């Protein structure tokens, strides 16, 4: 840790919205409780019709961008990144709840470990537990734990230099949520250091915006939001694809086994009902 506490970092926070006002309200409230100055928050709305735009306008955020149509998550993330252009940008979903000093702790972990991108530990599912108490205990216990070269688009703290090397998010409405897969494939190929850290815990309600888009578009919940030729988009051959999947699954099995053996919990969980399922 830093000897005199967390320093002041140059950062901003951005996320996209498309309706789902209740989740956006919980997200912004948790950012405020975490100590994140709301004038560092950029929200890009992809043409909500449920009162989200009025709510955002009234919250005193750093910037609110109102798109006239759904320009896709990738385009909205880029708009948010360009809106402030800080040294660090936290790009995240609007259906998450964060902990105190989450931004500073993410950046501190990245700086100390020379990372270009870091994601927090998380649970996906119901928020029917004492979030503040559990998060404090989890972070105290799991702070030394990290999964190297593994991160996710639910919440990612990104150094500006990473964008200069691999580019920004793919902006194409037809991708409908596949933008993160392309970004992380480019990150994997670059071999730039990134990780998930146990020093920060967040709650993720679980793909709320994508499920809303499926409902609007008449797509069954069990189907993918968009079908793409992912091997072609990711420029992967069949063998490369299979080897990557095998290596990723093997790494996750090892992480899970080690974390459960040493700590009794892991950096990723699901909570479909009243218990944690450690993944």
pLDDT tens digit sequence for 217-260: 555 555 554 555 565 666 667 777 788 888 989 999 999 999 99
Closest CA to 269 of 121, 165, 93, 133: 121
The pLDDT score that the predictor gives to residue 214 is: 47
The pLDDT score that the predictor gives to residue 181 is: 86
The pLDDT score that the predictor gives to residue 213 is: 53
The pLDDT score that the predictor gives to residue 155 is: 97
Domain ranges of the chain: 11-235
Name residues of the chain where pLDDT drops below 70.
Answer: 1-6, 175-177, 207-236
- Dihedral Cα 88, 93, 99, 105, nearest 10 deg: -20
For residue 213, what are its two tokens?
A: 């888009």
The pLDDT score that the predictor gives to residue 217 is: 54
Contact status, residue 203 vs residue 121, Cβ threshold 8 Å: no
The pLDDT score that the predictor gives to residue 66 is: 98
Closest CA to 48 of 31, 82, 81, 25: 25
The pLDDT score that the predictor gives to residue 3 is: 47
Rounded CA-CA distance 120/124 in Å is 12
Measured CA to CA in angstroms, residue 94 lies from 6, 29, 165, 243 at distances of: 25, 11, 27, 33
* Burial class, 204, CB count within 10 angstroms (exposed 0-12 / middle 13-18 / buried 19+): buried
For residue 177, what are its two tokens?
A: 């949520």
11-235 CATH choice from 3.90.550.10, 3.40.50.620, 3.40.1350.10, 3.10.150.10: 3.90.550.10
Task: Enter the pTM of the model.
Answer: 0.90
Closest CA to 149 of 195, 186, 90: 195
Contact status, residue 101 vs residue 6, Cβ threshold 8 Å: yes
The pLDDT score that the predictor gives to residue 54 is: 98
pLDDT tens digit sequence for 26-41: 999 999 999 999 999 9
């Amino acid at each position: 840790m830093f000897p005199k506490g967390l320093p002041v970092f140059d950062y901003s926070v951005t996320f996209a919205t498309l309706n789902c006002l209740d989740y956006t309200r919980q997200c912004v409230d948790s950012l405020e409780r975490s100590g994140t100055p709301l004038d560092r928050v950029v929200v890009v709305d992809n043409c909500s019709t449920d009162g989200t735009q009025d709510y955002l306008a009234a919250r005193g955020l750093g910037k609110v961008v109102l798109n006239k149509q759904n320009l896709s998550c990738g385009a909205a993330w880029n708009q948010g990144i360009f809106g402030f252009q800080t040294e660090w940008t936290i790009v995240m979903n609007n259906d998450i709840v964060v902990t105190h000093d989450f931004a500073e702790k993410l950046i501190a972990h990245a700086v100390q470990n020379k990372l270009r991108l870091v994601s927090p530990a998380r649970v996906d599912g119901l928020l029917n537990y004492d979030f503040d108490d559990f998060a404090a205990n989890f972070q105290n216990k799991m702070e030394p734990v990290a999964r190297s070269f593994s991160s996710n688009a639910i919440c990612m703290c990104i150094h500006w230099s990473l964008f200069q090397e691999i580019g920004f998010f793919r902006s194409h409405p037809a991708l409908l949520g596949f933008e993160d897969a392309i970004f992380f494939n480019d990150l994997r190929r670059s071999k730039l250091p990134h990780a998930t850290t146990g020093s920060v815990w967040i709650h993720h309600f679980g793909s709320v915006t994508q499920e809303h888009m499926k409902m609007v578009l008449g797509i069954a919940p069990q189907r993918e939001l968009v079908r793409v030729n992912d091997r072609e988009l990711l420029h992967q051959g069949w063998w490369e694809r299979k080897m990557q999947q095998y290596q990723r699954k093997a790494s996750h099995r090892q992480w899970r086994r080690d974390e459960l053996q040493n700590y009794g919990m892991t950096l990723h969980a699901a909570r479909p009902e009243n218990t944690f399922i450690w993944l």
